[in-house]
């Protein structure tokens, strides 16, 4: 069981992600934009961050940069949830410090398979 | 694990409709040439979320269509394309299409395919022509979204020993990736041997702890293709040097490379399953097959709109606070009750006052949960005014204020159509055409002003235009023709203007495409009255008209006048009471020896003896001994004869239909302070009833009890 | 009879099975009637009702049952029995009924007095005799013999929806 921070401005996506992760036995905290996520991450250590890229207030890329600057999140796996599968979008996430990505649309099973890759 | 994704559909629809509304309003406010980047971002994000959700939940058609919108917005967002008026038009049409498509998947209804195809083509044309940067053809985009990605250099699965040389760059750990996890992943594919090479490991004191200094040589024995292996390293592409050496070709294929490719190609072309690797690596895949059908069948109950409500956390917090106070009051009163004596009566009274205040506040706040800002209704008007004024070739400015004014969700749902009708009327019949306005010396751009505000437990919505005003002569002529006004009568201006609410008095010169079809102002007024509201109109020829609607904030509570008839208490909605008076005998006449009327100033008003209508034993049967409550329902006045007026109070409306059925002349019931039930009068119904007959004594036999379900 | 568990099947009308059901019985005009006890929500003393205008006379009116409005049926009038003055034993039995549309409704019936609770097995239950064409007996589930007594078991759902209740008094059940 891991503690996972799920960040997405779309409530339905967030619900699905959160539900899937919880059903798999994980402990999930949710945030609806980068700003909120950053506050949460500062307040408690999570084992994995799943973040959407396009969000109001603070987007996913900025969130990743901020998180990587925190000493506690230097090595924490961060995956982006992205509809963009084009190389430059992935590159943007990666250069900000993302561990990897999951391309939308994904099914609950795919989500779980992907996070298994990064959870120790 | 199986997760039933249908449970997220409602949230998806809710946020998508919100997103569409946001897109629309941002599009309408977009300044061509100097577009605000935040507005563009907002539009992009909304499209992006809808696409993502639609694809995830299997609404492929919606996702594909929205993808085009998103692509267009992305080009605008990244500066590859300027905002143009035609694009805004296309995008607005796209919003309509997305709305229709979402409605269709939610309700399982049909959607106008041609319209969507047409808009989709416009989008594609714009994408193909407008962008400076090259844009993939829509077809290619669609396939890249929905079809598994074809990997051109894909090699067929080969059994044998794969040699992998993995040299991470020193910063690899800082991406959150971890070689150990990758090896674990690889070992899931087959038998893995790992050899570490520590030749680059610096002396301990020189070592930066965050860096990776090790290299690995891996040997994997597995029947997989190269893609499966490279996928494991997909996320560290660029963070390492990686060579993957395929197993030694078996002798019989040791032909020249060209031939080798030819031999292997057929194998590659016939994969038995699309690449949905067990690892769940991010290859685009179809939504689960079960979800594909979702595009066709209804996915949410048709009542999806009414079954949930979003409540801001502030309101909930306020409620929690209030309950906290209530608990304190309760414990205070509890203490007081334990050892009470008369010397502490003041404290008790204080406590009870506090309890009353707590209860009232709690009630108000609970009601507030059902309240939504009227912007939910108002938001559709900018678009409507824009489209219609374009169509009619008029210049109209829409000004709105008070769109954050809150009212009950149920009231909101029912006031939408009447408001649309009124705004349409203002556009169509109110504001004049451009040249007429100029000829009349008015500014060429007309103004329609929409306001909403609270006023003493009501919400007031007004729609005003600076147009031509109501042509009272035409109305009067029509009314005379229809027999509503006698030839020798000269009604006041107010009365004539009020006539537009009579059935069959639509004064449009031409029945246009915009209004004048189907519903008339009579329906508007009836709808508003059904909500317990009123509508007034004021109009000055040449200067414009204004309609003022007053609605109760909620349908759950009503301001009532308690009246007594015999030993029964009834509640008359305050909103329908004109006045109460004691009637003088000489002012009462019997028409045709039966129906009673009394003279109130210039009008003759029919009298409804409630005791008679309801079969109650009254205290008074002589009109001059009781009271007449003059009420107005459906534009008709009547005097309700009662024994006495009791207090006025807010009552909570309870349905009679839950366990019984509808009763003529009664709109519901409430529970009074003493715990007894009192019936709430349906004034319009009573007036109608009294017109038809006196009381309707009903015989027992055919009145099945729970028939109300059908009513 | 050990097979008590099946008595929980409130809507069972299968009288041939060897099962037992419990019935709450009440008295009206010396006759004893029974209703499925699983449909009984509560029994309360007679209290003032608020009459509803323009309704059949067997609807006494409505009461406030913890915040919901519940109609009260005078069963004597419903059955066409002579009226009596309500007395100290007069009670309201609050029942759960299912309307034709399957919706659950709550209503009360006024009866002379509550009598007893009986276990009735299928073999004690007799089909309603044929009273001829003019007697509508849809609301009678059957006749049950309990010791020396006969109890008229009512079909609550139908009892409150079937129109021709007056048929009951015309049929000579004894």
C169 to chain B, closest Cα gap in Å: 14
Task: Between A87 and C127, name the one with better pLDDT.
Answer: C127
Task: Note whether B197 and B343 are same-domain residues.
Answer: no
Question: How many domains does chain B fold into?
Answer: 5
Residue C130's pLDDT band (cuts 50, 70, 90)? low
A36 shares contact with chain B (CB less than 8 Å): no
B71 to chain A, closest Cα gap in Å: 11
Task: Between C17 and B30, name the one with better pLDDT.
Answer: B30
**pLDDT for residue B698:** 40
What average pLDDT score do residues A57-83 get? 89
E strands of B393-505, at which residues? Answer: 396-401, 406-408, 446-455, 458-465
Does C158 have pLDDT greater than 60? yes
**pLDDT for residue C14:** 46
Beta bridge pairs of residue B581: B628
B145-154, B632-641, B676-685: which is most confident: B676-685
Identify the weakest region by mean pLDDT among B145-149, B382-386, B434-438. Answer: B145-149
Residue at a domain's end among B106, B130, B146:
B146
Of A104, C41, C53, residue with least CA distance to B54:
A104
Identify the weakest region by mean pLDDT among A57-71, A73-87, B262-276, B458-472. Answer: B262-276
Mean pLDDT taken over chain B: 78
**pLDDT for residue B570:** 95
Longest CA pairwise span in chain A (Å): 34
Residues B537/B427, Cβ–Cβ less than 8 Å: no
Classify domain C5-170 at the CATH topology level.
OB fold (Dihydrolipoamide Acetyltransferase, E2P) (2.40.50)
- The beta-carbon neighbor of C55 closest among B654, B655, B698 is B698
Task: Note whether B62 and B196 are same-domain residues.
Answer: no
Task: Note whether B79 and B24 are same-domain residues.
Answer: yes
Residues A114/A79, Cβ–Cβ less than 8 Å: yes
First-to-last C-alpha distance (Å) of chain C: 29
- Domain CATH number, residue B50: 1.20.120.160
Residue A31's pLDDT band (cuts 50, 70, 90)? very high
**Interface contact B655-C69, CB threshold 8 A:** yes
Residues 6+ away with beta carbon under 8 Å from B532: B551, B552, B555, B558, B573, B575
> How far is C135 from B610, CA to CA, in rounded Å?
39
Does B367 have pLDDT greater than 70? yes
Return the residue matching tokens 């079909």.
C155
A111 contacts in chain B (CB < 8 Å): 280
Strands A3-7 and A27-31: parallel
Task: Note whether B705 and B576 are same-domain residues.
Answer: yes
Residue B598: Cβ-neighbour burial (10 angstroms; 0-12, 13-18, 19+): buried
**pLDDT for residue B2:** 67
Give A39's Cβ-side CA count (13 Å radius): 8
B664 shares contact with chain C (CB less than 8 Å): yes
Task: Note whether B627 and B685 are same-domain residues.
Answer: yes
In a domain, B53, yes or no: yes
A75 shares contact with chain B (CB less than 8 Å): yes
**pLDDT for residue C2:** 42
**pLDDT for residue A29:** 93
Residues of B labelled as active-site residues: 48, 70, 425
Task: Between C146 and C134, name the one with better pLDDT.
Answer: C146
A69 shares contact with chain B (CB less than 8 Å): no
**pLDDT for residue A84:** 65
Task: Note whether B390 and B516 are same-domain residues.
Answer: yes
What average pLDDT score do residues A95-108 get? 85
Element (H, E) at B458: strand B458-465
Task: Note whether B462 and B537 are same-domain residues.
Answer: yes
B664 contacts in chain C (CB < 8 Å): 54
Residues A7/A30, Cβ–Cβ less than 8 Å: yes
Task: Note whether B520 and B400 are same-domain residues.
Answer: yes
Task: Note whether B528 and B605 are same-domain residues.
Answer: no
Q: Specify the CATH class of A3-118 in words.
A: alpha beta
- Which tens digit of pLDDT belongs to each residue from B498-534? 888 887 665 444 344 444 444 578 888 888 887 878 8
**pLDDT for residue B162:** 83
Residues B228/B283, Cβ–Cβ less than 8 Å: no
What average pLDDT score do residues B579-594 get? 81
> How far is C93 from C43, CA to CA, in rounded Å?
5
Neighbouring chains to A with at least 3 Cβ pairs closer than 8 Å? B
**pLDDT for residue C3:** 42
From chain B residues 669-688, the ones with a CB under 8 A of any chain C CB are 669, 671, 675-679
Task: Note whether B686 and B579 are same-domain residues.
Answer: yes
Identify the weakest region by mean pLDDT among B171-180, B329-338, B541-550. Answer: B171-180
**pLDDT for residue C109:** 92
Find which of B705, B707, B711 to mutate to test the C interface (most C CBs within 10 Å of its CB).
B705
In a domain, B617, yes or no: yes
Does B404 have pLDDT greater than 90? no
**pLDDT for residue B144:** 39
Task: Note whether B189 and B322 are same-domain residues.
Answer: no
What average pLDDT score do residues B532-540 get? 87
Residue B564's pLDDT band (cuts 50, 70, 90)? very high
**pLDDT for residue A120:** 66
**Interface contact B677-C69, CB threshold 8 A:** yes
Task: Between B45 and B266, name the one with better pLDDT.
Answer: B45
Residue B692's pLDDT band (cuts 50, 70, 90)? low
Where does B448-520 have alpha helices with state H?
472-481, 493-498
Mean pLDDT taken over chain A: 87
**pLDDT for residue A46:** 93
Residues B213/B198, Cβ–Cβ less than 8 Å: yes
What average pLDDT score do residues B204-214 get? 81
Q: Is ipTM beyond 0.95?
A: no
**pLDDT for residue B383:** 87
Residues B609/B595, Cβ–Cβ less than 8 Å: no
Containing domain of residue B69, as a range? 5-146
B140 to chain C, closest Cα gap in Å: 52
Task: Note whether B520 and B661 are same-domain residues.
Answer: no
**pLDDT for residue C95:** 92
Residue C134's pLDDT band (cuts 50, 70, 90)? very low
Residue B130's pLDDT band (cuts 50, 70, 90)? low
Does B148 have pLDDT greater than 60? no
Residues 6+ away with beta carbon under 8 Å from B468: B429, B430, B431, B432, B436, B541, B542, B544
B198 shares contact with chain C (CB less than 8 Å): no
**Interface contact B175-A98, CB threshold 8 A:** yes
> How far is B482 from B475, CA to CA, in rounded Å?
10
Residues B77/B40, Cβ–Cβ less than 8 Å: yes
- Which tens digit of pLDDT belongs to each residue from B66-82? 989 988 888 888 888 88
The secondary structure of chain A in percent helix, strand, coil, rounded to multiples of 5, reads 45, 20, 35
pLDDT above 90 covers what percent of chain B? 12
Residue at a domain's end among B518, B552, B586:
B552
Find which of B6, B40, B56 to mutate to test the A interface (most A CBs within 10 Å of its CB).
B56
**pLDDT for residue A77:** 92
Compute the Cα dihedral for B168, B174, B177, B180 and give only its sign: positive
**pLDDT for residue B709:** 35
Of B281, B282, B286, B288, residue with least CA distance to B188:
B281
- Which tens digit of pLDDT belongs to each residue from C23-45? 999 998 888 999 999 999 999 98
C touches A, CB cut-off 8 Å, minimum 3 pairs: no
**Interface contact B175-A11, CB threshold 8 A:** no
Does B706 have pLDDT greater than 70? no
**pLDDT for residue B249:** 54
Does C78 have pLDDT greater than 90? no
What average pLDDT score do residues B301-320 get? 69
Residue B441's SS3 state is coil
- Domain CATH number, residue B214: 3.30.70.260
Cis peptide, bond prior to residue A74, ω within 30 of zero: no
Residue B307: Cβ-neighbour burial (10 angstroms; 0-12, 13-18, 19+): exposed
**pLDDT for residue C41:** 92
Enumerate the domain spans of chain A. Answer: 3-118
Residue at a domain's end among B146, B174, B193:
B146
What average pLDDT score do residues B470-489 get? 83
Find which of A12, A64, A110 to mutate to test the B interface (most B CBs within 10 Å of its CB).
A12
Does B189 have pLDDT greater than 70? yes
**pLDDT for residue B134:** 39
B366 shares contact with chain C (CB less than 8 Å): no
- Which tens digit of pLDDT belongs to each residue from B251-293? 444 444 444 444 444 444 444 444 444 444 444 444 444 444 4
**pLDDT for residue C34:** 92
What average pLDDT score do residues C89-103 get? 85
**pLDDT for residue C172:** 32
**pLDDT for residue C26:** 93
DSSP state of A101: E
Residues B374/B462, Cβ–Cβ less than 8 Å: no
Element (H, E) at B633: strand B627-633
């Amino acid at each position: 069981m891991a503690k996972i921070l799920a960040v997405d401005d779309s409530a339905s996506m967030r619900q699905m992600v959160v539900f899937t992760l919880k059903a798999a036995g994980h402990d999930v905290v949710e945030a609806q934009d980068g700003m909120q996520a950053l506050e949460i991450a500062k307040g408690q250590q999570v084992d994995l961050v799943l973040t959407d890229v396009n969000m109001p207030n603070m987007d996913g890329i900025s969130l990743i940069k901020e998180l990587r600057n925190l000493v506690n999140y230097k090595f924490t796996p961060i995956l982006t949830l992205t509809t963009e599968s084009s190389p430059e979008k992935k590159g943007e996430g990666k250069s900000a410090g993302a561990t990897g990505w999951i391309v939308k649309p994904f099914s609950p099973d795919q989500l779980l398979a992907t996070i298994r890759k990064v959870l120790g | 694990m199986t997760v039933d994704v249908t449970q997220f559909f409602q949230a998806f629809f809710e946020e998508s409709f919100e997103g569409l509304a946001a897109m629309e309003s941002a599009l309408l406010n977009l300044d061509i040439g100097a577009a605000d980047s935040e507005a563009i971002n907002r539009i992009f994000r909304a499209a992006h979320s809808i696409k993502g959700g639609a694809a995830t939940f299997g609404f492929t058609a919606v996702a594909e269509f929205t993808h085009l919108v998103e692509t267009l917005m992305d080009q605008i967002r990244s500066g590859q394309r300027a905002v143009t008026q035609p694009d805004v038009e296309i995008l607005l049409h796209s919003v309509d299409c997305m709305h229709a498509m979402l409605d269709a998947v939610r309700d399982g209804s049909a959607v106008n395919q041609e319209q969507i195809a047409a808009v989709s083509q416009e989008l594609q044309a714009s994408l193909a022509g407008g962008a400076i940067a090259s844009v993939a053809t829509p077809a290619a985009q669609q396939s890249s979204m929905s079809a598994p990605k074809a990997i051109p250099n894909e090699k067929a699965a080969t059994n044998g020993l794969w040699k992998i040389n993995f040299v991470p760059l020193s910063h690899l750990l800082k991406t959150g990736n971890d070689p150990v996890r990758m090896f674990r992943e690889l070992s899931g594919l087959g038998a893995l041997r790992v050899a570490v090479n520590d030749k680059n490991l610096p002396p301990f004191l020189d070592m930066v702890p965050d860096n990776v200094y090790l290299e690995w040589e891996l040997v994997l024995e597995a029947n997989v293709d190269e893609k499966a292996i490279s996928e494991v390293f997909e996320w560290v592409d660029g963070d390492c040097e990686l060579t993957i050496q395929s197993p030694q070709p078996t002798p019989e294929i040791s032909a020249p490379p060209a031939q080798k490719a030819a031999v292997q190609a057929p194998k590659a072309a016939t994969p038995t399953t699309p690449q949905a690797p067990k690892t769940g690596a991010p290859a685009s895949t179809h939504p689960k097959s079960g979800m594909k059908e979702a595009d066709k069948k209804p996915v949410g109950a048709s009542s999806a709109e009414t079954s949930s409500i979003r409540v801001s956390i502030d309101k909930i917090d306020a409620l929690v606070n209030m309950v906290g106070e209530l608990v304190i009051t309760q414990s205070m009163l509890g203490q007081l009750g334990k050892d009470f004596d008369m010397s502490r009566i003041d404290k008790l009274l204080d406590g009870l006052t506090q309890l009353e205040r707590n209860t009232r506040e709690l009630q108000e706040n609970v009601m507030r949960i059902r309240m939504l800002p009227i912007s939910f209704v108002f938001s559709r008007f900018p678009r409507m005014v824009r489209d219609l004024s374009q169509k009619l070739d008029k210049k109209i400015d829409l000004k709105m204020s008070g769109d954050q004014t809150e009212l009950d969700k149920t009231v909101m749902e029912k006031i939408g159509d009447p408001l649309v009708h009124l705004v349409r009327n203002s556009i169509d019949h109110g504001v004049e055409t451009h040249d007429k306005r100029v000829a009349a010396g008015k500014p060429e751009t007309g103004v329609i002003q929409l306001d909403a505000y609270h006023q003493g437990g009501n919400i007031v919505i007004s729609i005003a235009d600076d147009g031509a005003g109501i042509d009272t002569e035409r109305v009067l002529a029509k009314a005379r023709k229809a027999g509503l006004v006698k030839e020798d009568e000269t009604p006041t201006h107010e009365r004539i203007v009020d006539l537009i609410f009579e059935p069959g008095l639509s004064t449009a010169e031409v029945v246009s495409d915009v209004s004048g079809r189907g519903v008339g102002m009579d329906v508007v007024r009836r709808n508003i009255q059904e909500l317990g509201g009123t509508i007034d109109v004021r109009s000055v020829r040449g200067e414009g008209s204004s309609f003022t609607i007053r609605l109760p904030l909620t349908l759950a509570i009503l301001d009532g006048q308690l009246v007594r008839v015999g030993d029964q208490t009834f509640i008359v909605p305050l909103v329908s009471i004109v006045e109460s008076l004691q009637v003088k005998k000489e002012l009462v006449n019997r028409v045709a020896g039966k129906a009673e009327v009394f003279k109130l100033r210039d009008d003759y008003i029919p009298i409804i003896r409630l005791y008679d209508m309801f079969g109650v034993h009254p205290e008074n049967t002589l009109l001059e001994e009781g009271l007449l409550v003059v009420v107005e329902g459906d534009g008709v006045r009547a005097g309700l004869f009662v024994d006495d007026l009791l207090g006025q109070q807010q009552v909570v409306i309870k349905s009679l239909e839950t366990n019984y059925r509808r009763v003529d002349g009664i709109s519901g019931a409430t529970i009074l302070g003493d715990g007894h039930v009192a019936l709430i009068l349906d004034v319009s119904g009573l007036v109608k009833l009294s017109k038809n007959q006196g009381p309707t004594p009903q015989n027992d036999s055919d009145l099945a009890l729970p028939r109300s379900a059908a009513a | 009879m050990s097979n008590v568990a099946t008595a929980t099947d409130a809507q069972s009308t299968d009288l041939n099975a060897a099962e037992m059901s419990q019935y709450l019985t009440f008295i009206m005009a010396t006759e004893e009637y029974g209703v499925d006890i699983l449909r009984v929500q509560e029994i309360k003393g007679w209290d003032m009702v608020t009459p509803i205008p323009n309704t059949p006379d067997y609807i006494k009116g409505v009461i406030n049952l913890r915040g919901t409005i519940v109609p009260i049926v005078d069963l004597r009038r419903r059955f066409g029995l002579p009226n009596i003055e309500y007395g100290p034993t007069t009670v309201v039995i609050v029942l759960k009924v299912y309307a034709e549309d399957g919706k659950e409704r709550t209503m009360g019936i006024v009866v002379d007095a509550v009598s007893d609770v009986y276990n009735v097995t299928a073999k004690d239950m007799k089909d309603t005799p044929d009273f001829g064409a003019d007697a509508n007996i849809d609301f009678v589930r059957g006749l049950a013999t309990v010791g020396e007594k006969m109890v008229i078991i009512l079909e609550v759902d139908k009892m409150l929806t079937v129109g021709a209740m007056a048929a009951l008094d015309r049929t000579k059940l004894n």
